[in-house]
Amino acid sequence: MAWQSTAIAAVIALVVALLAPLVLGNWHVSPPAVSITAGIILFAQALRIVMQAPPAPGSAAQQVSPSPPSPAIAVFPLAMPAILTAPGIAAIAVISSLNKHDLASEAIVIAFLLGVMVLNLLTLWNNETILRHGLAGILPVIGWVLAVLQAALAVQIIIHALRVLEVLHWPAAQAGGAV
């Protein structure tokens, strides 16, 4: 199931990375608009994670399923939205639309996407081992810290887009210095 879910998520991510610039260009969506949209999506998800109450200890008890799971869960909810989230799609759209559209740049984006998918697959294959070694208590803390950093990244993406649109002139030009 992990392999199938990761493969589906990887194909969707690659399609988004390769087609997003074409679709957004045909729709006349500017790169700053894509950046602002992605920033809002990333910030909303990060804010949701940061503001949620931590789960009570022992509240995430495993439920035992009497029957094997349906193969349909490889697509939903595993491939999407668990492996490939809406903020992930937004980030892919921003990276691919702001990227140079030459073969080398496209290859780098694809290599990074495939690398992330390999890390996802390794995590899915080893999730019981990870949790068995006492990392279950640390993972929410790591997730919270990463969500705060994601919020900062989202704000920076929006600031950059506003600077490109010349709505925000920050930092101000310094006398005798370059911006």
Give the number of other CB atoms < 10 A from CB of residue 116.
17
160, 48 contact by CB (below 8 A): no
| Res. 60 pLDDT band, cuts 50 70 90 | low
Q: State the amino acid at position 2 in one-letter form.
A: A
Is 50 exceeded by the pLDDT of residue 61?
Answer: no
* The predicted structure's pLDDT at residue 131: 81
**What sign for the dihedral angle of Cα 132, 133, 137, 142?**
negative
Tokens at residue 165, please?
């649109």
Question: SS3 sequence, the chain?
Answer: CHHHHHHHHHHHHHHHHHHHHHHHHHCCCCHHHHHHHHHHHHHHHHHHHHHCCCCCCCCCCCCCCCCCCCHHHHHHHHHHHHHCCHHHHHHHHHHHHHCCCCHHHHHHHHHHHHHHHHHHHHHHHCHHHHHHHHHCCCHHHHHHHHHHHHHHHHHHHHHHHHHHCCCCCCCCCCCCCCC
Alpha carbon distances (Å) from 120 to 103, 116, 175: 26, 6, 48
Query: Structure pTM?
Result: 0.75
* Segment 118-133, tens digit of pLDDT: 998 898 888 888 888 8
Segment 46-58 shows an average pLDDT of: 78
Residue 138's pLDDT band (cuts 50, 70, 90): confident
Q: Which of 19-28, 84-93, 127-136, 149-158 has the lowest mean pLDDT?
A: 127-136
- Tokens of residue 100, six digits: 């140079």
Q: Please say if the pLDDT value at position 177 is more than 80.
A: no
pLDDT bracket for residue 43 (50, 70, 90)? very high
